[in-house]
Structure 1
Amino acid sequence: MKLIIASISLVLSQALPAAANSLPPAEQAAAFKAAGFKLHGSQWRACEDPSTSYVPGAIDQVADLNGDGRPEVVITEGGSFCFGQAGAGYALVSKQADGSWKLLSRGTGILTVLPSKGKDGWPDLEIGGPGFCFPVERWNGKTYKFHRRQYEGKPCKR
């Protein structure tokens, strides 16, 4: 378990600089707030994990996922206190036409943006974690909802 958390921590810490630098600090702060994070000192936190294995919120990915010309941001956070065996949590937020940020999806696990699409060109999201046969969520025009399960790109059943 400690090895999994250490590996997730390493991956999260390596992903932060490139992704975060593509957004100005005010936009980063707005994205974190939309995802439910609060600034504690220099760390963005949604989880109040007291353990030493905790990894604070980090911007993992900035991309225009649906082709509307505005950025979406994947924010990650790590620690078994809040995220159990998965050891990681995610939030997906989107910049809106009015300049505000909106939370689209959040949960426990490791988010992977897939090439398959739902309504309005939004990509499907695989939510990985321990085990096999991961849930895939699809945008229905209002929210991300469970769509199917897959493992290594192939349908599966739990």
Structure 2
Amino acid sequence: MAAMLLLAAMLAAAAPSATDEAAIFKAAGFKKHGASWKSGECEGMEGESYQPGTIETYKDINGDGRPEAVVTEGSGICYGNTGTRFWLLTKEPNGTWKSMISEIGIAEFVPSNKGRAGWPSLSIGGPGFCFPVYRWNGRVWQLYTFEYEGKRCKKP
């Protein structure tokens, strides 16, 4: 148990290796273009607001001792008012990366509200005042409720 906690603490402060970084982007469906990773969803719509793929989060989110990654790509033209899309990936026990969910919006984990396997619920933010919150059911991320600032709200 102590070793698992130490590993989780190390992952929280770590950055992915170059090999893991490439594997994360590839599992999310990105391709390398020069020094940037691009999903291809915004091709021809990059414009001034475009931000290529970035690993925003790299840490053990669900406490299983393996890292997860949240990848983002930004573009007001491509992703509308939210201006961003995210991909949540997890490292499997065999070392491969698996994409779990991808949505237009801003991923925010809600640690006080957990689903299966230690996964915190996932709020998907964007414009407005009532956001969908998803929970991991062991197979997929499933819509659980709508919330704003921790309080339930009516679906927009």
Q: Note whether the superposition's TM-score is higher than 0.5.
A: yes
Larger helix proportion of the pair? 1
Q: Provide the rounded CA distance (Å) in 1 between the counterparts of 2:38 and 2:19.
A: 17
Match of 2:15 in 1: 22
Q: Provide the rounded CA distance (Å) in 1 between the counterparts of 2:46 and 2:148.
A: 33
Matched, 1:37 2:30: yes
2:142 to 139, 142, 145: 145
Q: 1:82 deviation in Å?
A: 2.0
Query: What are structure 1's unaligned runs of at least 5 residues?
Result: 1-18
Percent of matched pairs sharing the same residue = 49
Q: How many residues align?
A: 140
Q: Provide the rounded CA distance (Å) in 2 between the counterparts of 1:130 and 1:83.
A: 12
Alpha-carbon deviations, 1:97-148, whole Å to 9, x = none?
0010000110100110111110111111000001110000100101111110
**After TM superposition, which residue ranges in structure 1, 4 or more long, deviate above 2 angstroms?**
none
Matched, 1:92 2:88: yes
Query: What are structure 2's unaligned runs of at least 5 residues?
Result: 1-11
Superposition TM-score, scaled by structure 1 size: 0.84
In the alignment, residue 125 of structure 1 is paired with which amino acid? L
Match of 2:126 in 1: 129
Q: Provide the rounded CA distance (Å) in 2 between the counterparts of 1:65 and 1:21.
A: 13
CA contact (8 A) 1:20 1:59 kept: no
Q: Provide the rounded CA distance (Å) in 2 between the counterparts of 1:21 and 1:29.
A: 16
Root-mean-square deviation (CA, aligned residues, Å) is 1.5
